[in-house]
Structure 1
């Protein structure tokens, strides 16, 4: 069976167990953190807090999380390594790629296609997967890109095509931040699959659960994609019931084999004023186990379907 790189070393895909495919550990603005460290606070306290939160998740029976923190989200692997050392019972898979809704980071603007040369992103992503990230020896096990409400801008398409090229070189699965309200999953299909030849079964369309349009989600599932029902607890523009009822309906339609579950939570995120976070009390690593699964069980989702979404579908991404 294929092996999946984790912070604890390679793991057989059959040993991943219950898996959340979209959970950040730290979501940070790198320039702010480097120049205004008072915002971050005490490093040791942050590490200890993250380890405690992830240990509680492991105690629920979750065995693997995928952390899709890449360029644009403050990825810093040495810090994640320190957290992982304190949570040996939890596999952490990290990612490579670029997160943006419109323009590439300035570093890439006048490199590659703009000056008539190959895109350096492809080699960078590939090296993260094959050699390891930043001299840590930790290899990425997921590729990440984004297409949000602005749609397929030239730079967004460029990143998506670089991700597709790295996927073809390495076989690593892809997760895409999408905006289902504007139908951006269909644009991901056009670029990644129709034009770049990626098998949709290897692609997670992240944040699919942000919509209650089950006809749209059914269309994407029927096209072969894995739908990321992965923002449980982030109930700002929707509700707990809307997210959970959408999952119930998709299971009723027979699409449990096309969905994965997560919360898109973080141990710490500097994008949101800390005083606002208490207004989102369900947005945490334990929400699915404590509240979502009991709710959907009561409405007809079977244990077999739950196991499919949490164990079988994530495993197949790497197979």
Structure 2
């Protein structure tokens, strides 16, 4: 078996149990939170609210969540440690960087950005940062990252996105820690992931989850990605705005019917609090929470022909084998 690092320490892959591969505890804009603390309110109240919500996930049968909150999403491990002490849930945290366009200003005049100036290839400091988070722990907390994360969205393969993608790939090759990529399937962003991370950097596509694959109903394209070896993240159940509940479920059912049960993982991309969304807007997303799969999605797909064994494969077997690298 394989050892996976969690907030409370390493666990055996056999002990992951029911695993949601893409959930957040908090998604925050760090500069805003640091400078306008009234928006955040009481730290104790936020932590207590998170404990209640994560306990509900445990009570529904979840045993592990992967939280791909990295730089750009407000990662702050001391708070997550405090929450993890109060719930039995295992939380796997991530390292990496989240951007759809440019890298943060910190990196503009470091690493490959200096190549032309010095006339040589300059190593990217991101790689050492990511590797350090995995091998040594994050920000002195002792918590080691068990996942790598980057993103590509509708703007496509911008220079900043490509730089982060290559840094994540290099960190993976040094450490063996698997990767999740936020993708935009409507623009076939997974094909950019394949070219850059797999064809050029040498990452096995079986070690990459293509997040948000369920945001499209183009099952032929999803089958193309699964056939290339990727794991598909059907991980935004509950975000029923541009893609309806029925469409998300229909895509999942069709991919299972086509024989791709062992190439998919499930999640909701939910959080205890996300400051990107006005609280009033959340009223239009009543199913966007940690137990929507169990309360609404699974009863629906079972009625439409899916089996419990197939659900268990996506919740237990695929996450385990993904972390094991099989």
TM-score range, shorter chain: over 0.9
Equivalent of 1:245, from 233, 241, 250? 250
The Cα offsets for residues 170-204 of structure 1, whole Å up to 9 and x where unpaired, read as 00000000000000011101111111110111100
Equivalent of 2:165, from 144, 156, 160? 160
| Aligned counterpart, 2:109 | 110
Equivalent of 2:285, from 272, 280, 283? 280
Output the TM-score relative to the length of structure 1: 0.99
Equivalent of 2:210, from 190, 205, 222? 205
Give, in angstroms, the shift of residue 7 of structure 1.
Answer: 1.1
| Aligned counterpart, 2:76 | 76
| Aligned counterpart, 2:11 | 11
Give, in angstroms, the shift of residue 236 of structure 1.
Answer: 1.2
Give, in angstroms, the shift of residue 115 of structure 1.
Answer: 1.9
Structure 1 vs Structure 2 CA RMSD: 0.6
Map residues 172-191 of structure 1 onto 2, 5 A cutoff.
172-191=177-196
Task: Please give the alpha-carbon distance, in whole angstroms, between the structure 2 residues aligned to 1:192 and 1:295.
Answer: 36
Aligned residues: 318
Task: Please give the alpha-carbon distance, in whole angstroms, between the structure 2 residues aligned to 1:2 and 1:262.
Answer: 22
Give, in angstroms, the shift of residue 154 of structure 1.
Answer: 1.2
Ranges in structure 2 where 5+ consecutive residues have no aligned partner: 116-121
Give, in angstroms, the shift of residue 8 of structure 1.
Answer: 1.6
For 2:6, what is the secondary structure of its paired residue? coil
Task: Please give the alpha-carbon distance, in whole angstroms, between the structure 2 residues aligned to 1:7 and 1:143.
Answer: 15
| Aligned counterpart, 1:45 | 45
| Aligned counterpart, 2:323 | 318
The Cα offsets for residues 16-50 of structure 1, whole Å up to 9 and x where unpaired, read as 00000100000000000000000011100000000
Task: Please give the alpha-carbon distance, in whole angstroms, between the structure 1 residues aligned to 2:75 and 2:89.
Answer: 19
Map residues 198-237 of structure 1 onto 2, 5 A cutoff.
198-237=203-242
Give, in angstroms, the shift of residue 300 of structure 1.
Answer: 1.1
Output the TM-score relative to the length of structure 2: 0.97
Task: Please give the alpha-carbon distance, in whole angstroms, between the structure 2 residues aligned to 1:225 and 1:284.
Answer: 26
Task: Please give the alpha-carbon distance, in whole angstroms, between the structure 2 residues aligned to 1:302 and 1:220.
Answer: 24
For 1:51, what is the secondary structure of its paired residue? helix
Ranges in structure 1 where 5+ consecutive residues have no aligned partner: none
| Aligned counterpart, 2:268 | 263
Task: Please give the alpha-carbon distance, in whole angstroms, between the structure 2 residues aligned to 1:2 and 1:251.
Answer: 27
The Cα offsets for residues 252-280 of structure 1, whole Å up to 9 and x where unpaired, read as 00000000000000100000000110111
Q: Which runs of 4+ in 1 moved over 3 A?
A: none
Is residue 28 from structure 1 mapped to residue 28 from structure 2 by the alignment? yes
